[in-house]
Chain A
């Protein structure tokens, strides 16, 4: 027996990532990198009309173009293409229109595929698109949600423009508002966003005539396989889905896309491997969009600031169709409009509305950033109304540390939290009092550049999700996650995870967890993911769930492996299993030095010469973990902005984030997630908006129009943590993927409004472009 083990636990270490090796050297395997012998290239012709009847599609000239192998219209697929799935019928009477992957009779948004060509290379395919003739009979676009709901509005679908109305209520809201000393009544607009993962989508499909292998830049290879089987009728066991290296998702690759279905059908027809890679312009038009809600929030409060109740009424733009989780996204916010605060009554209504725009669906945070934004903006308005410091107002309302676990008015049980600690730490790092003094000085001097301070205290429900809860919300699947852990004969370990990373660093973090659980070196663990042939079971990666659900599945599988190893160790050591204790990779007979390492046991298991009766010669195990509760990360973000009142320019001067994501497996990865999340939230606050013109044309089709912040547009972020372990899982982890995005948007806008209070400004619509800020100053000064 040899002693080879580090004494420092792996969980908590700032391990450099294993996945970097291929990523910093260009040895990556993006879907578009895949080239197969005889591969053909697909290009889609897309509707230039927001709403129209297709009266004629003629692909015959395209078929005659050089290099073209085939060309198809929607009619060619009509009998086999099925309908793109929506897995979340949020109400029994929800209108769920047919969603053909390729339009057959009617187009309902600009960018919808109407025809395609298949050619020997991508250049020939692009050329041939121009030879396709399509005639449209225009129908009126439907762009404004309020107008869409009026009687007599043109209809997106025959069944009308309302997809559903979903309500939640707890407590006596009428009473809370009746005679309330203070009522804040605000309307906010969550602009439409384009997720903009850096890797454009791509699909490759190959076949041997019997089975199909589909590679896709997807977050959800497992869900995709099931859905493709259900949509196309190709039996699930003849369908293998691979998510190779995937270049970011942020929810945008949590989808079953038209292109995936169509490429599969094209491959089946032609019997040849096919590839489709979208251009950024195609992506901006047709990768599902995010947000797009009109929010009406009312807070009833006492004079001392204590919240009596909150009433929320949302219109959520579904776009033209309901995609995978489109209708569920705003409802993920339904349980978050109360945030970290206590109150007696809460009422939530959401109406999903069809418009002739690209469908919306999950984008980083999915429902929770919207809720947190409206709540935290309105809390600042309440603080202003009452003349209270915004931090003090929050302090008076938040759930105190000693009150956990706490069941909220929205019906969730927050297992843990320490809002006091996170806020104190953030205030100290930020230099809150000093900045307030500078703000007063600038106001006094009437400095044209004013200073604003924004606060955002948030929590979120993540670790999606307890299957039972998902069922009660009518979601079409469970929320468990699966893992296999296999100790190989030489003592090395393979972990097969059902989560599907696209930048999160699972190969590293999962190795850290397994290293601790099995007492093996970090380097001895390899993580396999993203291929339904090697990872047969999984629920994939979204909703900050990979660690809090998938990580726990790994822990559970490791526990089973340890238990098997203990049996074998006991047999080899001629002791009772009850007398075997496990310590950092060694199974010892209690009170003795006699022991076996897990590597020795692995080899002995492989040889199988001397195993206990009834024990199979294998040192591996599977586990599927279904959480009993969500996890609830929280934190306090503070932002200081300088607002140039003459031009409307906003400069973020400093940004402090203190997040509590529970136990941290890898602080580098956690910090990176927070940084990126903050940047995306700032993007929404200041820069990003998908804009449609009155005819329903998307104006922001390129990165020259849809502005993403560069390094030169963002400050350095100061990040820190408090660690209040989750009590709902054995690692105490909560999840971190969405926290930064949820917290940062209101922090930034609160800061801008705070800067402009002396000018009579009480809101600036997002994104807070210089023009909008300037107009707010003009209008505020005029009122």
Chain B
């Protein structure tokens, strides 16, 4: 299928980009890697008046060490994230989840920022963002502001970015030593979206879980933290399978999972518990 016509601008800097976006009005859309947007355009499910292509904005690319956090530029591709030594060393959960996004060709074009700004609750990275309390850096003509991940994902395909704002990058806090990570994705085929996914980070000390951060994919119209599980898991022995299972049983609390061809809400609630248990076990052993 074929996209409807649109105007196109390709700014060469972030300043130009935010100006272009503001000038283009409210029906404009930012084009990042296009791996989610292009199918929507082709199916004519989106009719932007203008696409602001931020693919050639140098400030938006790359991964930097910024002390207590890692900055990942919004236009860093999934493939570049996967190959970043810094990401792998300091934010392994990001690498683990990114490796499950779509397929290699899509990961060559699709971007870290694009996937987050698209805010698909079935996407793998939003759950990681909330689990790790990433800080989203938004730029507009009025300057820069930071939005905590918890407040960034508002609803299905909806973020806290205002009109005229571009997600410039993400600050991923470094968690320090003692953490283990796992991303548990459950889907029907390798290419399919997650029915449910669980992003888990677990800090261990002397065989005991001291702290856990758990993000849930596709359990509501936005990514969720499994707060009750995080509470329940504190102090449990990393090898105590039964106790961890008991803690994971809280995973479905305060969720509002969708119903679609791949599963009803009750099945998803059940899966969230099973997968959270598995993610905890794997993260605790990692």
Chain A positions near chain B (C-beta within 8 angstroms): 122-123, 126-127, 130, 279, 281, 646-649, 687, 689, 691, 699-700, 702, 704-705, 707-710, 712-713, 769-771, 774-775
Contact = CB atoms under 8 A, between A and B. Distances in A.
Contacts of A709: 189
Interface in B249-286: 261-264, 267, 270-271, 274-275
B186 interface: yes
A127 B193 CA distance: 30
A699 B260 CA distance: 10
Contacts of B43: 281, 702
Contacts of B267: 648, 771, 774-775
A704 B106 CA distance: 14
B89 interface: no
Interface stretch (B1-9, B17-25, B150-158, B173-181): B1-9
Given A127-B5, A281-B43, A770-B195, A712 B190 contact: yes
A648 B186 CA distance: 11
Contacts of A647: 186, 271, 274-275
Contacts of A708: 189
B186 A646 contact: no
B209 to A, nearest CB: 22
26 contacts: A122-B2, A126-B1, A130-B4, A279-B1, A281-B43, A647-B271, A648-B267, A687-B189, A689-B261, A691-B261, A699-B261, A700-B261, A704-B39, A704-B192, A705-B261, A707-B188, A707-B192, A708-B189, A709-B189, A712-B189, A769-B188, A769-B262, A770-B188, A770-B263, A771-B262, A771-B264
B50 to A, nearest CB: 17
Contacts of A689: 261
Contacts of B271: 647
B206 interface: no
A544 B5 CA distance: 46
A705 B186 CA distance: 16
Given A127-B5, A774-B267, A649 B186 contact: yes
Contacts of B188: 687, 707, 769-770
Contact of B270 (A122, A130, A704, A774): A774
Contacts of A126: 1-2
B2 A710 contact: no
Nearest to A702: B43
| Among all A-B residue pairs, the 7 with the closest Cβ atoms | A712-B190, A126-B2, A279-B1, A771-B263, A771-B267, A646-B274, A713-B189
Contacts of B192: 704, 707
A568 B271 CA distance: 78
A542 B264 CA distance: 39
Contacts of B5: 127
Contacts of B263: 769-771
B2 A123 contact: yes
Given A126-B2, A281-B1, 17 more contacts: A123-B2, A130-B4, A279-B1, A649-B186, A702-B43, A704-B192, A707-B188, A707-B189, A710-B189, A713-B189, A769-B188, A769-B262, A770-B186, A770-B263, A771-B263, A771-B264, A771-B267
A493 B189 CA distance: 47
A279 B39 CA distance: 12
A648 B270 CA distance: 11
Nearest to B264: A771
A101 to B, nearest CB: 22
Nearest to B103: A710
B37 to A, nearest CB: 14
Nearest to A778: B270
Interface in B190-210: 190-193, 195
Contacts of A700: 261
Contacts of A771: 195, 262-264, 267
A281 B42 CA distance: 10
B270 to A, nearest CB: 7
Nearest to A712: B190
A457 B59 CA distance: 63
Contacts of B190: 710, 712-713
A770 B274 CA distance: 13
Given A705-B261, A707-B189, A770-B186, A127 B4 contact: yes
Contacts of A648: 267
Nearest to B2: A126
Contacts of B189: 687, 707-710, 712-713
B191 A710 contact: yes
Nearest to B43: A281
Contacts of B261: 689, 691, 699-700, 705
A138 to B, nearest CB: 23
A122 B263 CA distance: 38
Interface in B31-56: 39, 43
A123 B193 CA distance: 30
A679 to B, nearest CB: 12
A779 to B, nearest CB: 13
A713 B195 CA distance: 16
Contacts of B274: 646-647
Contacts of A122: 2
A702 B261 CA distance: 13
A757 B100 CA distance: 34
B267 to A, nearest CB: 5
A646 B275 CA distance: 9
Nearest to B42: A279
A127 B5 CA distance: 8
A422 B3 CA distance: 53
B149 to A, nearest CB: 26
Contacts of B275: 647
A713 B193 CA distance: 14
B194 to A, nearest CB: 12
For B2, B192, B270, the residue with the greatest tally of chain A CB atoms inside 10 Å of its CB is B2
